[in-house]
Amino acid sequence: MTTLTLSRAMNEGLRRALENDPKVLVMGEDVGKLGGVFRVTDGLQKDFGEGRVIDTPLAESGIVGTAIGLALRGYRPICEIQFDGFVFPAFNQIVCQLAKMRLRSLGHVSLPIVIRIPCGGGIGAVEHHSESPEALFAHIGGLRVVACSEPADAYSMIQQSVSCEDPVILFEPKRRYWDKGEVDTAADPQAWLSLNAARTVHQGSDVTLLAYGPMIRTCVEAAVAAAKDGRSIEVIDLRSLAPLDIETIRASVQRTGRCVVAHEAPVTGGLGAEIAARITEECFYHLEAPVLRVGGFSTPYPPSKLEDHYLPDLDRVLDAVDRTFAF
């Protein structure tokens, strides 16, 4: 086991992907000489050359459009979108071309492209640098949408995403880039958890708390705090947002009878709404209370001095847990 930050684990995963397949390319704004804004691609251009780690113009539609052309020629591009709010100029390429090609060609043409998107707030950034647009992509058929929350997952998920024949949108929690964790870089990839699978990170029996990405650490802290008051919270890291691992979710909720879904994105139209609906459909007779949601507010992401009021914290998560016992 090696102790790595999430950003370093992602770097090591990218390095392995580049080593294992000469058709893998990394492309994006400042990913080469600078090593990325968050230094996730640090040192890769030096080791693999400018032909495989490519500094692109500031044009997200061009980055994704070029990646689509490369994938059609047999390459496996990894695109870095520098910040979450910058992805929207490429949204047309992603929705109209990237997501549709495999079905359009009846499976004869695949576009094995990974789009890495640092997501969420908590870093004191300016407008368009702290958004959580995952629900927009999870709504689009033909895309796999995944989110890592800790270093070991970052290391394995980037490599699994690169190997996938479907296009993958990989969300990385930027305020967790400096969190450290144990990573087994020598593990057999066959032993890795499936890219489609959820993971139970804290066992409990009274309430199921579903989250992903940057909220996992907050939810585990909430579970530890709740235990002092005699409440047992099970925390599940969804990991895969599209498709959902509904089997793992169902098994937990049927056992606990209560569920809270937490994410940084606004509650209105957020992924929590889809999850709550699915749980209600599949676990109705096991529920002791409605499925509750915790998330951001229905406003644009605020200036950095106000983001602590916007982002769901331990108290807001615990309040939702308490409310599930009020019904």
Q: Which position among 108, 128, 129, 286 bears the catalytic label? A: 129
Is 129 a known active-site residue?
A: yes
For residue 286, count CB atoms less than 10 angstroms from its CB and return exposed for 0-12, middle for 13-18, buried for 19 or more.
middle
Read off the tokens for 315: 């108290």
Q: What angle do CA 111, 114, 115 make, to 5 degrees?
A: 120
Q: Crossing angle for the helix pair 271-283 and 246-256, nearest 10 degrees?
A: 60
* CA 149/CA 127 separation, integer angstroms: 23
In whole angstroms, what separates CA 9 from the centre of its chain?
A: 15
Dmax of the chain from CA atoms? 60
CA distances from 115 to 64, 157, 198, 234, 239 (A): 8, 12, 21, 31, 16
Strands 144-147, 240-242: pairing kind = antiparallel
* φ, ψ (nearest 5 deg) of residue 123: -115, 10
Distance linking the first and last C-alpha atoms of the chain: 45
Closest CA relative to residue 317, chosen from 259, 269, 262, 248: 262
Q: Are 306 and 124 in contact (CB under 8 A)?
A: no
Contacts of 285 (CB under 8 A, 6+ apart): none
Catalytic residue IDs: 129
